[in-house]
Amino acid sequence: MSDWKISEVLGLGSAAAFILTIVYLYGYSRGLGVNLFLYFSLNDYFRLATEWLPPLLGSGIVGTLISKFFTRVERGATEAEIAARSRNPGFTRTFRRFGNAAPPTALVVIAAFETVRSFFTSVPHERLYVVWGAAGVVLWFALVGWYVREPRLVARWSRPLYLCVTLFPALAIAALTSGFYAGKNGTRLYSPPADVQIWIKGQASPVASRVLFVLDDFFVLRGHDDPSVVAIPRAEVTKVSHSKDN
């Protein structure tokens, strides 16, 4: 990426964050059963991106650092070089292949098992979103890894293109399943919704509810006992009182 200008990197990052936030909000809307796109302004999308994207990107950075650490420990050697340096190359080669394949295979098997089990017994949808989110990312990386094993197919790929093809779909899968999970629970992804009392023009008593989103033009609320979702225009709200426990 040395040939990229900082402005280009920032522009691409902003566009990617915006698209991923739309994917996340789509998943949230599907899980919640309400079309939230009706209430979000442009500013709301970027505000939401600053809330849910950093932990996801942080997890990706941690994973990359761990991978680089093991690469450094192995002094950048390829799988073939590591096997050739060992006392038993055949065993080492088989062992490392198994070690690399076992975790992603286990994730996919668990996801498939939970899906089949959901047809015969009650399985929380949230669990399916979590396992398929993880399995989907792993499957995508495995597919990319299989594709790039043929050097001629990627000989003309630039490094930025390779990173985009590898990372963006994986992030989109994580965004979609995270949105499904949060929407199905009717919560924020990384924190519980705040309990509030809202006073509305023309009403003597306040509305007790939980805030899902505070937007430029709306408060999006969900009742404690009633699962229905209500969007109240901010112009109609005269006062908001937060619970002392939040």
Q: Tell me: the pLDDT tens digits for 185-242?
A: 877 655 556 778 888 887 878 877 888 888 999 988 887 767 788 888 988 888 888 7
Separation of alpha carbons 234 and 97, rounded Å? 57
pLDDT higher than 80, residue 81:
no
Quick: pLDDT tens for 143-194: 888 888 888 888 888 877 888 888 899 999 999 998 988 888 877 655 556 7
Query: H helices within the chain, ranges in order?
Result: 6-32, 42-73, 79-85, 89-118, 125-148, 151-154, 159-185
Instruction: State mean pLDDT over 138-143.
Output: 88
Q: What's the fold here for domain 194-242?
A: SH3 type barrels. (2.30.30)
**What pLDDT does residue 196 have?**
80
Token pair 């799988």 is found at 79
The predicted pLDDT at position 50 comes to: 87
- pLDDT category at 21 given cuts 50, 70, 90 is very high
Per the CB < 8 A criterion, the answer to whether 221 and 210 are in contact is: yes
DSSP structural state of residue 35: -
Domain with CATH 2.30.30.100 in the chain: 194-242
Q: Contact, 166 vs 141, CB < 8 A? A: yes
Q: How far, in Å, CA of 109 to CA of 112, rounded?
A: 5
pLDDT at 191: 58
pLDDT surpassing 50 at residue 246: no
| H/E stretch holding 243 | none
Render 107-175 in DSSP notation, one character per residue.
HHHHHHHHHHHHTTS---HHHHHHHHHHHHHHHHHHHHHHHHTSHHHHTT--HHHHHHHHHHHHHHHHH
Q: How far apart are CA 172 and CA 183, in angstroms?
A: 16
Instruction: Report whether 203 contacts 152 (CB < 8 A).
Output: no
